Amino acid sequence: MKKFKFTIRGNEYEVQVISFEDNIAEVDVNGSVYHVELAKDVKTTKTPKLVRPKPVKTQETKPKPVAGLSKVEAPLPGNIIKINIKPGDTVTKGQTIMVMEAMKMENNILVEKDGTVSKVNVNEGDTVLQGDVLAEIE
């Protein structure tokens, strides 16, 4: 049971919710019991409702790449199941360098620019989080 204190037009009321079923609440107000009908529909499910916020226009500044270094990051949390590169390999834009299992699906990790692999930060079987740096391309 929940207890509340309300002040209406200078008068203080102690309200205790005794029971709540459908849209009817049984409340005790300063010792008097009332059955109160709520005007709004009561949620009958615990599933959240998707609300899409309106986009806010802001001025974004993109970080400048550091001397041609490109970091390949994990797009989702998951497991690395295949690595197709090693340090020193030459890669081209759009090439699949790794395969990652995430949400029971295989996802190809692609290179965003041409270059040479300078570092591979993961091994097959590793678990990664979103945003982890998987490899570095120069």
Q: Using the structure block, give the residue that is written with the tokens 């590169």.
A: 85
Report the pLDDT value the prediction gives residue 21, as an integer from 0 to 100.
81
Domains of the chain: which residue ranges? Answer: 2-37, 70-137
Fold of 70-137: OB fold (Dihydrolipoamide Acetyltransferase, E2P) (2.40.50)
Rounded alpha-carbon distances, angstroms, from residue 87 to 54, 63, 82, 96 = 44, 25, 15, 15
> How many other C-beta atoms lie within 10 A of the C-beta of residue 53?
5
Q: What is the pTM of this model?
A: 0.50
Up-side HSE of residue 109: CA atoms within 13 Å toward CB? 31
Over its length of 138 residues, how does the chain's per-residue pLDDT go in tens digits? 688 888 878 888 888 888 888 778 888 888 888 888 877 655 666 676 666 676 766 555 454 544 578 899 998 899 999 999 999 999 998 999 999 998 888 999 999 889 999 999 999 999 999 899 999 998
Instruction: Break the chain down into helix, strand, coil percent, rounded to 5.
Output: 0, 50, 50
What does the mean pLDDT of the chain come to?
A: 83
pLDDT digits (tens, 9 = 90+) for 57-89: 655 545 454 457 889 999 889 999 999 999 999
Report the pLDDT value the prediction gives residue 11, as an integer from 0 to 100.
84
